[in-house]
Structures are given as structure tokens and as C-alpha cells.
Amino acid sequence: MTVTTEPAIVRGESTSPLVTAEEFPPLTHFIDGAFVGGAGESSSSGATSDASAAPTTIADRVEENADLLIRLESLNTGKPRVVSEDDISMSADVFRFAAGAGRAFTEMGSGDYVEGHTSVILREPVGVVGVVVPWNYPLLIAAWKIGPVLAAGNTLVLKPSEQTPLSTLKFVELIADLLPAGVLNIVTGLGPSVGARLSSHPDIDLIALTGSVPSGQAVATAAGQSLKRVHLELGGKAPVIVFDDADLQAAAEGVREAGFWNSGQECGAGTRVLVHSSAAEEFTRLLAEQVSSYVLGDPRGGDDVELGPMISEAHFERVTSFLDRAIADGARPVVGGAALEGPGFFVAPTVLADVAPGSEASQHEIFGPVVTIETFETEDEALTRANEVSYGLAASVWTKDAARSLDAPRHLDFGTVWVNSHLALAAEVPWGGFKGSGYGRDLSIYALNDFTRTKHVQINHSR
């Protein structure tokens, strides 16, 4: 079966700018409560802060300026408005959750575990947290870090991606009056220099990074020299297991959303479908219909634009080269399969069938609008092959079998496993992976755990 329908394309019918010159933030560092130039040492004003209540007030400020932040994020990344709207909405929600979670943060009660001695467990801030965030969700992932870091009473120094600093700089400009000077600092620059300095700086107590596996390895290596704690959320290659009893239409619609959200530039994207051989032809047909309906374009093209371009020329070339190699290895393009002609770094939303187990396309993160399809014969085979990738961030299972929906996720080596859904996130539940996807948890109360330390105080009251 071959589907040749191409997606509709809208390339910015309006020439009006998304953001006016007056709305841009200062394009420099933000240190000790003010925008500054130069390349001095990054620092914070103290090891801990009294700003743990600020995330409520920060959430309000984000919502009050949502339209500007949405437009700026679309300019920053090329995201369609619908994706930027989701980013900004969830950013506000994360700050609001972090404020409440910080107020409810508790430890085990005191007790006498040694005769004549009472033990009390204290939970303290770790101190100064260095944060490095990626280009795919610049403000949202910054919020994932800033919210729990501040709620736990720390100070932080954050480096946005050199490709997408605009929304983070505007955010800190908007909320600067809500925090004591020096609590939240932003340093701009390249990862190999600024990111490396944060990782090795003796005054940074913990380094938190969301990024690629090589970036995570570099950060962990540098941090190891001072034995500072490390929090890593890295890549993913999320399997989508579609059993023969699944609702195939719902699964196809789910993959349309989860495999191509943010143009596939998403570490939890459902990009690797493992479908039972008896359902493969019908599922492939349904997915092809879904993917062929996508509208691509510049974020100025209107609200019907669903997918934007790749973040950069270098990334565009990486994704298209991946496609070329996959097709040369025998994968069959059912939809898309190449770059789109015309201006911009657009890659056609692509579905590749007949992908061989163990092939590059099956094992490695493409990070673009590409979904691959493999087939399996038995449940054991599906679970084994799902686990064979080096990543362990996210996966999903599609089935109507109640027992399977409870049992199969227990055999999948991934930090999040959805059943009959994929890529549904909430501030109340943890996000993070196993294996090559790193360690540490974003979102939920577990994030506050990651950015605190426990102290045991034991009091001898023998008389």
C-alpha cells in the first residue's frame, strides 16, 4: 500500500511580525536581579532563598502575559500557536502546583529509634542549582526546573539554549520584581563553555539538565569532579505497542498526536510503533490517513497550522539524512519521506513501514516528524523488542484486554507507560526515565525531593 497524499502547507500568509521590537527582552545575562553585559562568573546571592512562595505569584504573572509569551515562543522556535499555547498554559500550572506542593512537603514523623534518643528528619534546600534547558520547550522546561527549585528554597543559575533564549529572558524580565535579587539568574551562551562551567563550578551544588545523551554524559562527567549531584532528563525512543485487540482508529489518532507533536521534536513522542502482524495493514492505512491531513507552516500562517519547521538547518539536515538512510535500509515511506520543497526547514510528516528490527530507524532517536512501523507476532516478542532500545523514558500500550493493560506496563523498562493514550502529562505526576534517558524526576512531589536533601537530627534526652 502506498499513500501519496501530501499534507496541506501554509507558509505564513501574514507578513506581520509575531513580536514587535518593543516586546523583545534584553538579550544578555540576568544576574543578581538585573540584566548585565559581559562574561563574568555566574553566581547567585546565596545558597538558599526565601522565595518558596513565589511560584503562585509567578503563575499569575505568566497568565497575565500569556499572549506575549505565546507569540514570543512561536518566534523563538517556529512552533505553531497551538503548541506554544499549551507550553505557556502548562508553565503556569507547574508554578502553581510547585507552590502548593512546597507548602505540603512533609517528612516522616519524629520518633525514638534508639533508646533515650529522639530522631527528627529535616528536609533542606540543596543550595545553588545550575540548570541547563533545551531548545524544544524553552520556557516550559525552564518552568519544570524553576518551580520546584524555588519551592524547595534553593537559588539557581539557568542557561537557556543558545538557539532559543528569547522566552526565558522575557519571562525573567516579567517576574523580576517577584523575587529577591540573586535568587534566579540567567546566563546565556554555548553549552561547551557556559554549560560546562555550571557543571564544574565549585559553588554549584546540583546540576540539572534536560538535553541530549551526549550533553548529559558531558555534564555528569564534569559534575563528577566535585561530586555534585546531577539530575538528567535525556533522550527517548518511545515504543507504541498496538495489540490485535486494540481500537485501531483510536491508536492511529493517538499516534497522529503523540508522534508528531511539536513536529516530533519531543523526547517522549510516540515514534516507534510495534503492531501485531494481523492488524498491521489496517493500522498503517488508518495512520496514513491521519498523518496526510496535517497542515504545516510558519506560525504566522493561522490557527490551522499544526506543524512547524525543524529548529535549525543543522537539525533539518540531521533528520533528512536519517530518512535517507532508513529508506536505503529498506524502510517504505507510506506518507512523506523527505524534505518539503520551498523555503524553510520543513520535513514532511512521515510514516515508514517495513522497518527492520534492530535497524538504525528502529533504535535511535530521530527527533523529527517521523513514525516507524514494525510488526510482531506474540506479546512476549513485543515487550522484549520494546525494551531493546538504549532509552527508557516513555512507552504506551494499546489494548482492550483489562488484564494485559495492568500487566504489560510492568514489563516495560520506561519511566512512564500509558495505556490507550500517549503523551498525556500533568504537573502532579512524575516525568523521567531509566537507562540512557537519565535519572531524576521532573514534575510532581518527586521533583521537590530531587532538589532537597535530608538531614537526621538525633537528640539524647536520657536523664
Which residues are known to be catalytic?
A: 233, 267
Rounded to 5 degrees, φ, ψ at 258 are -80, -25
Q: Which residues contact 79 (CB under 8 A, 6 or more apart)?
A: 73, 87, 262, 299, 308
CA dist 25 and 160 (Å) reads: 14
Please tell me the number of Cα atoms within 13 Å of 171 on its side-chain side.
Answer: 34
Please tell me the number of Cα atoms within 13 Å of 341 on its side-chain side.
Answer: 1
CA dist 4 and 14 (Å) reads: 29
Which residue in 193, 196, 187 sits closest to 216, CA to CA?
196
C-alpha to C-alpha distances, 277 to 287, 371, 445, nearest whole angstrom: 15, 17, 41
Evaluate whether 29 touches 35 at the Cβ level (below 8 Å).
yes
CA dist 393 and 437 (Å) reads: 6
- H or E element at residue 66: helix 66-77
CA dist 38 and 232 (Å) reads: 29
CA dist 372 and 335 (Å) reads: 11
Please tell me the number of Cα atoms within 13 Å of 110 on its side-chain side.
Answer: 8
Evaluate whether 161 touches 188 at the Cβ level (below 8 Å).
no
CA dist 176 and 166 (Å) reads: 15
Pairing of strands 391-392, 434-435: antiparallel
- CB atoms under 10 Å from CB of 454, counted, come to 11
C-alpha to C-alpha distances, 255 to 271, 318, 344, 349, nearest whole angstrom: 8, 22, 25, 12
Handedness of CA 197, 53, 34, 188 (dihedral sign): positive
Handedness of CA 429, 432, 435, 438 (dihedral sign): negative
CA dist 458 and 120 (Å) reads: 6
Evaluate whether 391 touches 235 at the Cβ level (below 8 Å).
yes
Evaluate whether 242 touches 251 at the Cβ level (below 8 Å).
yes
End-to-end Cα distance, the chain: 85
